């Protein structure tokens, strides 16, 4: 849905850092779609991409380096260039009065930085926040439907298994999958993963830690606690990469402290911004990643009680990880800043 309510007399300078990447490209699209006020667009990428042309709202703009962009003193910078770039450059943008919304993992667990899903916890933002963290894509899509349920029933435990699209690994992973689908033989082409991904499922996303979980899995644990503001919730994730070029899927099992009805859960979700219920298995209606591609909502279905615990719920959850899981959520954070008059 386009955001057409903006009124500002300010000459708005907006930078997208990592503009040539998969998420950066989507950030540009979402800024256009939602009619975010941009008077001066600043596309930013590495020195290798400097000088290239990027189209925004029918005009062509020259890609510049981060150093050049800081000198231009943008009002807003959307970052999607990796944690190392964010660590080095986000503070430099902030120092010149620029609000930074960062899509990397760099600042998410920094106690001095806010981690925000606007529909859930936009109220934590203050005028003093100049670097704001965008959560992990899998966390965003899980918590959007969970947050209102937690308010009413209090979640004791979450068991989640993810089936994550290759788009989460970027263009090299997409290229690997498509090469394999076109008959490429393993070992004869550049591979992003340790194994073939086409016709395969790899239960390994990010590095393994001493506790046996991966960094991706622990992101879901730690970010859930920080965003919901409740560190008592048990979270047990398993993340896997699947040969899909669409959205991420998640099988989610919840245990509540209070009883619930499926009808009430359905009603709560029907009133939750950004959540769409697709739940009529007898008519083959349920969320699928292929049909989430290019959309901003989180789709939920396969809703059913878990008979193995007293107050248990199972459901299936799908969302476009590059849109709501990254680009759209970042732009929505910027919209909050704009509505509050901080941009």
CA distance 188 to 291: 33
Q: Which residue has the tokens 């993340």?
A: 239
Residue 275: both structure tokens together: 């959540």
Q: Point out the residues that are catalytic.
A: 137, 248
**Would you tell me how many other CB atoms lie within 10 Å of the CB of residue 110?**
11
CA distance 334 to 10: 15
Q: How many CA atoms lie within 13 A of 294 on its CB side?
A: 3
Could you say which DSSP state residue 75 is in? S
- Checking DSSP bridges between strand 99-102 and strand 76-79, what pairing results, if any? parallel
Count of all residues that appear for the chain in the document: 343
Residue 169: both structure tokens together: 């690994």
Whether 131 and 100 have beta carbons less than 8 Å apart is answered as yes
Question: What is the DSSP secondary-structure string of 294-319?
Answer: T--SEEEEEEEEETTSTTEEEEEEEE
Cα angle 338, 341, 343 (rounded to 5 degrees) comes to: 55
Rg (Cα) of the chain, in Å, rounded?
Answer: 20
Residue 114, strand partner residues: 132
Whether 241 and 202 have beta carbons less than 8 Å apart is answered as yes
């Amino acid at each position: 849905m386009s955001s057409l309510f903006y009124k500002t007399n300010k000459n708005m300078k907006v930078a997208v850092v990592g503009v040539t990447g998969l998420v950066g490209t989507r950030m540009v699209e979402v800024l256009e779609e939602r009619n975010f006020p941009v008077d001066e667009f600043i596309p930013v990428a590495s020195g290798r991409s400097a000088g290239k042309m990027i189209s925004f709202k029918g005009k062509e703009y020259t890609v510049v380096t981060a150093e050049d962009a800081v000198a231009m003193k943008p009002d807003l910078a959307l970052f999607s260039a990796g944690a190392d770039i964010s660590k080095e450059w986000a503070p430099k943008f902030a120092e010149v009065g620029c609000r930074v919304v960062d899509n990397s993992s760099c600042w998410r667990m920094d106690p001095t930085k806010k981690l925000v899903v606007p529909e859930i916890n936009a109220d934590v933002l203050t005028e003093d926040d100049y670097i704001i963290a965008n959560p992990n894509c899998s966390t965003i899509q899980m918590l959007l439907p969970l947050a209102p349920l937690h308010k009413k029933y209090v979640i004791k435990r979450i068991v989640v298994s993810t089936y994550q699209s290759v788009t989460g690994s970027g263009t090299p992973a997409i290229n690997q999958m498509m090469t394999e689908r076109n008959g490429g033989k393993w070992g004869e082409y550049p591979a992003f993963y340790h194994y073939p991904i086409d016709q395969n499922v790899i239960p390994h996303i990010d590095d393994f830690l001493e506790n046996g979980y991966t960094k991706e899995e622990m992101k879901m644990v730690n970010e859930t606690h920080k965003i919901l503001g409740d560190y008592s919730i048990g979270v047990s994730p398993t993340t896997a990469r699947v040969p899909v070029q669409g959205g991420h899927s998640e099988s989610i099992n919840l245990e509540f402290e209070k009883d619930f009805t499926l009808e009430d859960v359905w009603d709560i979700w029907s009133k939750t911004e950004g959540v769409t219920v697709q739940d009529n298995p007898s008519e083959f209606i349920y969320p699928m990643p292929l049909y989430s591609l290019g959309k901003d909502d989180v789709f939920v279905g396969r809703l059913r009680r878990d008979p193995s615990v007293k107050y248990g719920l199972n459901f299936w959850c799908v969302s476009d990880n590059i849109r709501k899981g990254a680009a759209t959520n970042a732009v929505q954070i910027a919209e909050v800043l704009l509505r509050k008059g901080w941009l």
